[in-house]
């Protein structure tokens, strides 16, 4: 039997919040469908990384989360896998429009990586992913969004542009991820982030990931998350 406290100590894992779900040891503990398990295996992911062990049960339980862990620790799958479950759980998926999962990332490159990772798991479930960042003409992006999708991966600036021209609505969005929040702040995206958050219904699930937690991010987290669980993996600044 895993001694959670000893295990967490050995990896410098700190968890705070009330009624925190226990970490998982293997992906099967998450109750993922066979279809999702096979997509995970196809990726060559044999077992969850430490941040995934902690975050997956928390996010799957519907809780908000602040995840702090360094680059390369597997944060993307920690929010993409529960997002697939969240979307598949929606009743009458086809009836409404607009993305259910909205992910904001600081740069085109990072957003593109998340887009690729999301597509790997979304495709086999018939879930459509749209990329919303520079590099594609705004007209093409408008058309793609109008065709419909369940997941949007975006940089904040371009997402605001697309919302302004009504290429999409956020009325259906219930799963919001702010990835690399510290870098988004460093790049001056705080107003855009606040605007996006303000357009997503308050009963959403909100996930915030960051490598560091400066005071400004703490403040944002307090404002936009509801009873979050905070998970820190490793010694981070
Ligand atoms: P982060 O966002 O924390 O910087 P990523 O989500 O980009 O990290 O993951 C880093 C790398 O680890 C990626 O190449 C990803 O495919 C891989 N990876 C993620 N989870 C696992 C896992 N459970 N097993 C093996 N590799 C994984
Ligand atoms: Mg990342």
Q: Which atom of ligand 1 is nearest to the CA of 69?
A: 3
Express as a percent the part of the chain with pLDDT over 90. Answer: 84
Ligand nearest to the CA of 180: 2
Rounded to the nearest integer, the mean pLDDT of the chain is 93
pLDDT band of 180, cuts 50, 70, 90: very high
- The count of residues in the chain is 237
Q: 79-91 b/e with 16+ CB inside 10 Å = b?
A: bbbbbbbbbbeee
Question: What pLDDT sits at residue 4?
Answer: 72
Query: Distance from the CA of 113 to the center of ligand 2, in angstroms?
Result: 8
CB 113 within 8 Å of CB 61: no
Q: Is the pLDDT of residue 1 over 70?
A: no
Query: Distance from the CA of 71 to the center of ligand 2, in angstroms?
Result: 6
Q: Would you tell me how many other CB atoms lie within 10 Å of the CB of residue 125?
A: 16
Domain boundaries, the chain: 4-233
Query: Distance from the CA of 76 to the center of ligand 1, in angstroms?
Result: 7
**In this structure, which residue's CA is closest to atom 22 in ligand 1?**
45
The CA distance from 22 to 1, in Å, is 13
pLDDT band of 235, cuts 50, 70, 90: confident
| Residues contacting 163, CB < 8 A, separation 6+ | 170, 196, 199
Q: 77-81, 88-92, 171-175: which has the minimum mean pLDDT?
A: 88-92
Q: 31-40, 85-94, 130-139, 177-186: which has the minimum mean pLDDT?
A: 85-94
Query: Distance from the CA of 9 to the center of ligand 2, in angstroms?
Result: 24
Radius of gyration of the chain, Cα coordinates, nearest whole angstrom? 17
Query: Distance from the CA of 75 to the center of ligand 2, in angstroms?
Result: 5
Q: Which atom of ligand 1 is nearest to the CA of 48?
A: 23
What does the pLDDT average to over 217-236? 92
CATH hierarchy code of domain 4-233: 3.40.50.300
Question: What pLDDT sits at residue 95?
Answer: 66
Substitution candidate for ligand 1 out of 24, 51, 76, 112 with most atoms within 8 A of CB: 76
Ligand nearest to the CA of 24: 1
**Virtual torsion, Cα 106, 127, 31, 70, nearest 10 deg:** -10
Q: Is the pLDDT of residue 11 over 90?
A: no
Going by DSSP bridges, is the β-strand pair 229-233/13-16 parallel, antiparallel, or unpaired?
Answer: antiparallel
Ligand nearest to the CA of 27: 1
CB 55 within 8 Å of CB 73: no
Q: Which long-range contacts (CB under 8 A, 24 or more apart) does 221-227 make?
A: 221/66, 221/181, 224/197, 225/64, 225/65, 225/66, 226/64, 227/17, 227/18, 227/63, 227/64
Q: Is the pLDDT of residue 2 over 90?
A: no
- Ligand 1 binding residues, C-beta < 6 A: 45, 48-49, 52, 69, 71-77
What does the pLDDT average to over 170-185? 96
Q: Is the pLDDT of residue 13 over 70?
A: yes
pLDDT band of 237, cuts 50, 70, 90: low
Question: What pLDDT sits at residue 81?
Answer: 98
Ligand nearest to the CA of 41: 1
Question: What pLDDT sits at residue 91?
Answer: 79
pLDDT digits (tens, 9 = 90+) for 32-88: 999 999 999 999 999 999 999 999 999 999 999 999 998 899 999 999 999 999 999
The CA distance from 144 to 158, in Å, is 14
């Amino acid at each position: 039997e895993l001694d959670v406290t000893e295990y967490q100590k050995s990896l410098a894992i700190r968890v705070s919040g009330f009624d925190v779900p226990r970490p998982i040891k293997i992906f099967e503990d998450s109750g993922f469908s066979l279809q999702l398990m096979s997509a995970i295996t196809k990726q060559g992911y044999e077992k969850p990384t430490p941040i995934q062990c902690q975050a997956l049960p928390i996010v799957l339980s519907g809780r908000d989360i602040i995840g702090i862990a360094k680059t390369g620790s597997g944060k993307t799958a920690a929010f993409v896998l529960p997002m697939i479950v969240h979307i598949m759980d929606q009743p009458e998926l086809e009836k409404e429009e607009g993305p259910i999962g909205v992910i904001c990332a600081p740069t085109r490159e990072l957003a593109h990586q998340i887009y690729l990772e999301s597509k790997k798991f979304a495709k086999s479930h018939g879930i459509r992913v749209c990329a919303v960042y520079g590099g594609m003409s705004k007209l093409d992006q408008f058309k793609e969004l109008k065709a419909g999708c369940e997941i949007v991966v975006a940089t904040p600036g371009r997402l605001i542009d697309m919302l302004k021209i009504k290429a999409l609505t956020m009325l259906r969005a219930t799963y919001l991820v702010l990835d690399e929040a510290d870098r988004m702040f460093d790049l001056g995206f705080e107003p855009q982030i606040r605007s996006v958050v303000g357009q997503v219904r308050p009963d959403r699930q909100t996930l915030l990931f960051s490598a560091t937690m400066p005071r400004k991010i703490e403040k944002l987290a307090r404002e936009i998350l509801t009873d979050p669980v905070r998970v820190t993996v490793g010694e981070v600044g």
